[in-house]
C-alpha cells in the first residue's frame, strides 16, 4: 500500500499546487481588471440582465450571493448568482464574469447538449467523489494484503466518473466564455482593450478547469496502469 499511496499523494499534491497557482493568478487578473472601468458604465447586474434579454431569456433572475468569485448559474431555480464585487461592479472584470454566467443560462435555454449531459450525471458524480478517497485507501490496503484487485477496479470506476465530469466541464466552460465574449463584442458593451481584458480574465478562469481535468486524468491513468501492471 505504501508506495502506491505515496504516488497517489504526490499526484494529488502536484495537482493541488498547480491549482493554487492558477487560482492565485485568476484572483490577480480579476483584481487587475476590476480596476478598469467599463466605458458603458453598466454594473454586472445590468450586464447580465441585458445579455439575458438580448437572448430572449426573461425567466432567469439575477441575484447577489456572498463570497469572492462565487459566481455561478443555477439551472434548478434559473438564477444567475453573482458575487457582490461582480453584481455591483462596473468594471471589465464584472462584465466578463456576469456575461460568462449568462452564457450558461443561454446554454440551458438552448438545450446545449454538453450542459444537459453534465447536469444529468451530477448525482452519480457526487456519490463517486464522496466515496473515491475511502475506496482508494481500502483498495490499496486489500490489494497489498491479499492481491485482490476487485476494490481497486471499483475505485477506478469512481475516478472515471469524476474524471468524465471534469472533462465534460471543459467544453461547457469554454462555450459559455465564447458566448459571453461574442455578445460583449456584438452588443458594444466591451470593445477594443476592454474586450481583450475580458478575454484574458475568462481565459485564466478556464485554465483552472483545465488544471482540474488534467489532474483527474493523471490520477485515473495512474490507477489504471497500476491495475494492469498487477494483472501481469
Catalytic residues: 101
Tally the C-alpha atoms within 13 A of residue 43's C-alpha that lie toward its C-beta: 13
Q: Which of 130, 131, 140 has its CA nearest to residue 227?
A: 140
Q: Long-range pairs for 124-129 at CB < 8 Å and ≥24 separation?
A: 124/161, 125/161, 125/162, 125/165, 128/157, 128/158, 128/159, 128/161, 128/162, 129/158, 129/162
Strands 61-64 and 79-82: parallel
Computed over its alpha carbons, how large is the radius of gyration of the chain?
21
Tally the C-alpha atoms within 13 A of residue 190's C-alpha that lie toward its C-beta: 32
Tally the C-alpha atoms within 13 A of residue 143's C-alpha that lie toward its C-beta: 25
Main-chain phi, psi angles of 81, to 5 degrees = -100, 115
Amino acid at each position: 500500500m505504501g508506495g502506491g499511496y505515496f504516488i497517489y499523494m504526490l499526484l494529488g499534491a502536484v495537482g493541488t499546487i498547480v491549482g493554487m497557482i492558477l487560482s492565485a493568478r485568476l484572483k490577480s487578473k480579476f483584481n487587475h481588471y476590476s480596476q478598469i472601468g467599463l466605458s458603458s458604465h453598466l454594473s454586472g447586474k445590468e450586464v447580465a440582465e441585458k445579455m439575458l434579454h438580448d437572448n430572449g431569456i426573461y425567466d432567469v433572475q439575477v441575484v447577489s450571493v456572498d463570497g469572492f468569485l462565487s459566481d455561478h448559474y443555477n439551472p434548478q431555480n434559473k438564477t444567475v448568482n453573482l458575487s457582490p464585487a461582480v453584481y455591483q461592479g462596473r468594471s471589465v472584470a464584472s462584465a466578463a464574469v456576469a456575461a460568462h454566467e449568462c452564457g450558461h443560462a443561454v446554454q440551458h435555454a438552448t438545450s446545449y447538449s454538453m450542459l444537459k449531459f453534465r447536469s444529468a450525471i451530477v448525482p452519480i458524480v457526487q456519490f463517486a467523489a464522496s466515496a473515491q478517497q475511502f475506496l482508494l485507501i481500502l483498495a490499496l490496503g486489500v490489494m497489498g494484503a491479499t492481491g485482490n484487485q476487485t476494490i481497486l477496479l471499483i475505485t477506478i470506476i469512481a475516478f472515471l466518473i469524476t474524471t468524465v465530469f471534469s472533462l465534460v466541464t471543459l467544453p461547457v466552460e469554454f462555450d459559455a466564455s465564447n458566448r459571453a465574449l461574442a455578445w460583449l463584442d456584438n452588443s458594444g458593451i466591451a470593445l477594443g482593450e476592454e474586450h481583450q481584458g475580458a478575454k484574458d480574465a475568462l481565459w485564466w478562469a478556464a485554465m483552472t478547469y483545465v488544471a482540474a481535468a488534467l489532474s483527474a486524468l493523471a490520477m485515473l491513468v495512474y490507477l489504471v496502469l497500476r491495475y494492469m501492471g498487477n494483472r501481469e
